[in-house]
A and B are shown apart, each in its own frame.
Chain A
């Protein structure tokens, strides 16, 4: 079974600085998808970024980028120029490639990010 591990329960960053959130996963599949979701205090789940395992190039979305290391099964999220609105719980998630619409997301335990003004 696949598992997702986030080893940092809490992180803190100064406004305008850069922070990296860690995520590792375990799978025997060769193709899969990885996601980072943000959950602010409103508890709405917001997709931050996604990565296809078959793509070597790291995904980037504005201030958010990932460092995807397939061999190491690592998928870290880098937030540059941190803003107060980035404060939230961040979840790393895995989804296999087979199974179509029934394919479920497997979440990590989350990292609570605080942004200091």
Chain B
């Protein structure tokens, strides 16, 4: 089945640095990928929709300059947390749906997530 790979799984870095998270569709081409943020014991909050070859669509309240999204190929989307601060510490998850399978009922496949800790 379709697999979405996310890297790294855990990153710890100092405040002020930028962190890049990769999301890859391993066996299908994803024109669209989704980036979520999840705080402990809370739900997934959609941050943005990543569109291959065009600008990402950000949800209301998400800072575009803070969370840079690049979807340069049909199998890779990246989320860069710029000048990260402790409040950016969270669990970030990406997902994608395989359009080639057809049918709107096909579920989204999720990466295993990235635990980001900013010191």
Contacts and interface: CB of A to CB of B under 8 A. Distances in A.
A binds B: yes
Contacts of B57: 102
A43 B107 contact: no
Interface stretch (B13-21, B80-88, B92-100): B92-100
Interface residues of A, number: 25
Contacts of B105: 33, 50, 52
Interface residues of B, number: 26
Contact of A43 (B30, B104, B112): B112
B34 interface: yes
A101 B97 contact: yes
A68 interface: no
Given A44-B112, A97-B104, A102-B51, A107 B44 contact: yes
Nearest to A9: B41
Interface of A: 33, 35, 42-45, 47, 50, 52, 89, 91, 95, 97, 100-110, 112
Instruction: Rank and list the top 6 A-B pairs by shortest CB-CB distance, nearest first.
Output: A45-B110, A101-B32, A101-B99, A107-B43, A47-B107, A109-B43
